[in-house]
Structure 1
């Protein structure tokens, strides 16, 4: 029997989707998986490199298949507010054709759709099979989504208008503290007419048979409980926390920049134990010149060793990734590189998993992307929060205020992808203080991080919480063709 995966065409979502597929294949030999890859010019090089490496080293040659879809004949305008959702929707006929071509009649067990691909539920309905949502964020984000849907659909409250108040705080299921409006993802309830609203997208979740969440019970115990309660009380769709779903085999990430990675690890090998602070801000993370200057001055004044992924921004108004090869060294303060040569290293692309797993790394200044958060916890590396986009502000709030697993540089910073500017400039003094606090954490916080690292690993072991939930999901899939 076959499952069809439709991931969002971004590395963070694709990596975890492929890893989820492998976990399923490891658990049950009766299941095969077809992963459909959107052909998107802005990410095609990186995605193609990853898919080629996966296909070349495929441990399931007859059961795991990758299918790259043809490019759209009528792609939408990349500058339009609803570009992304239109882009996904236009792929529906291509997905349907690919499934008809690749999957044998009668063997299709269902679709696993990325959280941004719910429009593909219509394709699953065409084949008369159920859909499951792969929710690549944590339970906190899912609780906010369902809370806002309840406010809009059941109480008729205009959530966007409510969030216009910059000082608003509100109670929400799954949170101990009141949630500040300033950490709610901007795209969840967009105020621009005709633009993408994730709330509208997530309204479709209830048409699926279940939601697979990339988290684990021990991390988000309080956040998962309201979701489980809804299942038991109201017969809502099933929730499957099966994480942490991480792609930890760095050899499989696409065979480029191996020499760069080796030189980075050699540099770390020469540093003392837990002495280096690692700064990395995700696949889209980059800053304007003013902010780079402040980071440099803050790092220099902190006195700590550092490894900084400083990627050159793409041209303004271009929906492109920051450069994989070029750093942004030309905007650094004069003489900075000479002054910090003995204790700092500037890099472009970062082999993040290898770095976080290195014994020399003692702290991580992170954008709080959910994958990066789970990776940092897996390796027991404490974090300082500096969110930039998507749901990262909410993740930062959860890590600092709800869980006490990170220190705050900022939790409400936002970066505009068009201008590369933040909603304010984080000062050198804030960065200096944040780095010093991160690298001199009290033992209680360090122990909490180490304990969560152990729990993240135990969750995946035979009999662990996530191991059990993945088994329940597989049983449900098998029942679809029983």
Structure 2
């Protein structure tokens, strides 16, 4: 049998890169004739994620998985942060082409079988075409969001003639392909915050149609509706291969002494008594919203672990809060989220509903209170709370990307936060039972014979078949 080589091109954002490395490890461990080279872009601004990227790159246990750091490329100074990935990916096309040409020129090298690119790196399909190999998209969000993007792009390019305002104002509720429930217009509005972001989203979706397939970090038991819809469209095939999770790797951004201290504290708490509040690697609040959260926690009297991205975390808290909460709750910067969710003392999770966090909560059977912040998180929150019934609602349409005046109007009161946390921890037995079912399904999906195990095999067979028939 011929040896095959896949080129992975992840987005250099922690949630995306971590999942890509997990998938690469999974593939090389599953198939002995498969090798993978991961090409790493350097982002042109300081990042606290550098240590974690280095840790991931050194984590490989096989010589069939290797990493190549590409040279940094300049991008325009006036690039918006919300669309910085667009010029970053375009600027790296020649570096990718050169790196692949060098790899394939090595004598007796494996046969180049294709590219696996992150959802934001789909423009690299142009480079894959230069080498006459297929491109597969590793989609780190939900199947439902991918289906919604295709649906909106068809409307946008068709009857609404590239007018997103008209599209958004055409209905108060929108159909999500494969969902039983329509979603409020405001949830979509939070994802398309300006014209540049909107155009970029639709451009990426058009490029998705040039792919040979989608590897989606989900499982069929979780998103059967959108996956079934997808199979009946004239679209590239979808492989539901999740959950792909980074459960055991330690985060180098967390001091080991701090990690050990929080886990020791959790060991001393009663089962299911602690609520975790964590809002992702980029989620942050202004001082007034942080105060509302603090007031809510203090009034509940519940045990908590609260991850605050501001540095130091105590700088945005009400005076005396940390002292008053000593013994009841812990405030920290970066939190070992996966380990906290796995701990038996954890009974609930107030989450931004990033897709990795959704999958981690499902895996551990920990009920969620939704508080989305940006990107597609509002749709994830709706899917969890309304469509699947495995979450309570703090908010479905909060957005940290809103303009300052709108953000002030959208501030969640301590009363609303308190009510959501109390319902999560004290009154959500049906949700907790539903979560346990999904937890069992997520674990079964990736075991031998499970739905995701079989879909990953289908993908591997396709890759290997392609090179053995040419």
**TM-score normalised over the length of structure 1:** 0.90
1:138-287 aligned within 5 A? 138-158=142-162, 160-165=164-169, 168-184=172-188, 186-187=190-191, 189=192, 191-192=194-195, 197-230=200-233, 234=234, 236-251=235-250, 253-254=251-252, 257-287=255-285
8 Å contact kept, 1:185–1:390: no
**TM-score normalised over the length of structure 2:** 0.93
Which is further off, 77-86 or 217-226? Answer: 77-86
**Partner deviation per Cα, 1:421-448 (whole Å, 9 max, x = no partner):** 5661110001110110000134322111
What SS does the aligned partner of 2:120 have? coil
Distance 2:374 2:283 in 1: 9
8 Å contact kept, 1:3–1:34: yes
1:365 to 350, 367, 376: 350
Q: Please tell me whether residue 476 in structure 1 is matched to residue 444 in structure 2.
A: no
Q: Match of 1:87?
A: 88
Distance 2:292 2:73 in 1: 42
Distance 1:292 1:95 in 2: 43
Deviation at 1:376, TM superposition (A): 0.5
Distance 1:167 1:347 in 2: 42
What SS does the aligned partner of 1:207 have? coil
What SS does the aligned partner of 1:353 have? helix
What SS does the aligned partner of 1:110 have? strand
Q: Match of 2:304?
A: 306
8 Å contact kept, 1:81–1:196: no
**Partner deviation per Cα, 1:110-143 (whole Å, 9 max, x = no partner):** 0001111111011101111110011111111011
Which is further off, 425-434 or 171-180? Answer: 171-180
Q: Match of 1:3?
A: 6
1:56 to 58, 64, 69: 58
2:116 to 102, 106, 112: 112
8 Å contact kept, 2:116–2:137: yes
Segments of structure 2 that go 5 or more residues without pairing to the other structure are: none
Q: Match of 2:452?
A: 466
8 Å contact kept, 2:313–2:332: no
**Partner deviation per Cα, 1:204-263 (whole Å, 9 max, x = no partner):** 111110011110001111221101122xxx4x3111000001111123x44752121111
Distance 1:65 1:106 in 2: 13
Distance 1:432 1:370 in 2: 24
Deviation at 1:358, TM superposition (A): 0.6
1:331-342 aligned within 5 A? 331-342=316-327
CA RMSD of aligned residues (A): 2.2
Q: Match of 1:316?
A: none
**Partner deviation per Cα, 1:370-406 (whole Å, 9 max, x = no partner):** 0000001100000000000010000001111100000
1:28–1:37 CA distance, 2 compared to 1 (3 A): same
What SS does the aligned partner of 1:116 have? helix
Distance 1:357 1:81 in 2: 33
Q: Please tell me whether residue 35 in structure 1 is matched to residue 33 in structure 2.
A: no
1:418–1:152 CA distance, 2 compared to 1 (3 A): closer
1:334–1:73 CA distance, 2 compared to 1 (3 A): closer
How many residues are treated as equivalent by the alignment?
Answer: 461
Deviation at 1:199, TM superposition (A): 1.7
**Partner deviation per Cα, 1:141-162 (whole Å, 9 max, x = no partner):** 0111111122234445546123
What SS does the aligned partner of 2:232 have? helix
1:291–1:194 CA distance, 2 compared to 1 (3 A): closer
